[in-house]
Structure formats: structure tokens, C-alpha cells
Amino acid sequence: RTLWRRKLNVAWLPPARVFLRVAQFPVASPEETRAMVELQLEKLSPLPLTHMVWSLHVLPETVDQQQAVVVLIVARDVVEEFLGQLEGQGFLADRRELGVRDQLKATAINEDGAYIYAGGNGPRDTAIVAWWSGGLLRNLSVLHLPATGDRVAQLRQQLVQPAWAGELEG
């Protein structure tokens, strides 16, 4: 019966419109972790706090009492437009997420490096790159490949940027 109701519990946001940040925090209860993220939002977000909507996902891996937290940041007007389109079709979303979250959770991380999740639930020319180091997720980046031009060179260029971010993180 729930399959046929005109209600959508989870709305997957388009990856092209989402900012992803990864931060490490001490292992704590969900309430304490949320409070720690709230204190760091100004530093993590490229948008002013009043113009964004955010959520977090704590990954299960811990190293030296540190946990990786994925922070999803979206401009408030993008979320309102997206939800307005869904509501116009008769669907109501209880939660907003990015589809790659389940892929991150399901991936067995055996060694450090970049894991590329192509396509996923977004446009065909979009991929997510997850950089793992020391057993923790350190960086997430969204790659956008244009339909024309030298796609290989553009992919290399976009992979270099998160690699530099990883270098800066140590």
C-alpha cells in the first residue's frame, strides 16, 4: 500500500547543486556531533548561514576516536525550488539527501585512495570522488563533465583539484 501512496519520503537532490564537505570530529552522541557541526558551519559552508539548508551524515568508521562527518550544504532557494517542483506533482518529501550517501556506506575501504562513484542518481555526466586516507573519509568532490570538448583532459583537471585539497589536509 505504501508503494502507491502519492508521498515521497526521501528526495534525492541533484548533485550539481549541492556542496559537500567532510570534517573530522571526536566520536560523540548524535546530538553532540550535530552541535559540533553547527559550531563549524561558518567555516565549512561557502554560503552565508541564513541562505542555506544543511544536513549531516556520520560515517561508521572511526580512527583514534575521530569520526568522519559528511555535511551536505544547499542554497535555500535551490531546495525551495526543488521541493516546489515535487509538491507540484503531488509528492511530499520528508527528508532531502544525496544518493551517494548509501554508496559511501556500502563501500568496503581496504586502502587509501580515491573512489569514484560515476553517475549515481544524478546526471550521467556527474560523478562523486571520495578521498580516503588513514581509514577516514577526508574529502568529497562533485565532478561535472561537459558534453563537448576534451573530456579526458577536463576529468584530469577536476581530479587534480581534490588531490590538492588532500595534500593540504595532510
Distance of CA 82 to the CA centre of its chain: 17
Taking the C-alpha atoms of residue 142 and residue 1, their distance in angstroms, rounded to an integer, is 36
Q: What sign has the CA pseudo-torsion 146, 153, 133, 116?
A: positive
Alpha-carbon span 123 to 144, nearest angstrom: 9
The pLDDT score that the predictor gives to residue 64 is 92
Can you give the pTM of this predicted structure? 0.76
Q: If you write DSSP's letter for every residue of 25-85 in order, what string do you get?
A: EE---HHHHHHHHHHHHHHH-SS-GGGEEEEEEEEEEEETTEEEEEEEEEEHHHHHHHHHH
Q: What is the mean pLDDT of residues 76-104?
A: 77
Average pLDDT of the chain, as a whole number: 80
- pLDDT digits 0-9 by tens, 105-137: 777 888 888 888 876 555 567 778 888 888 888
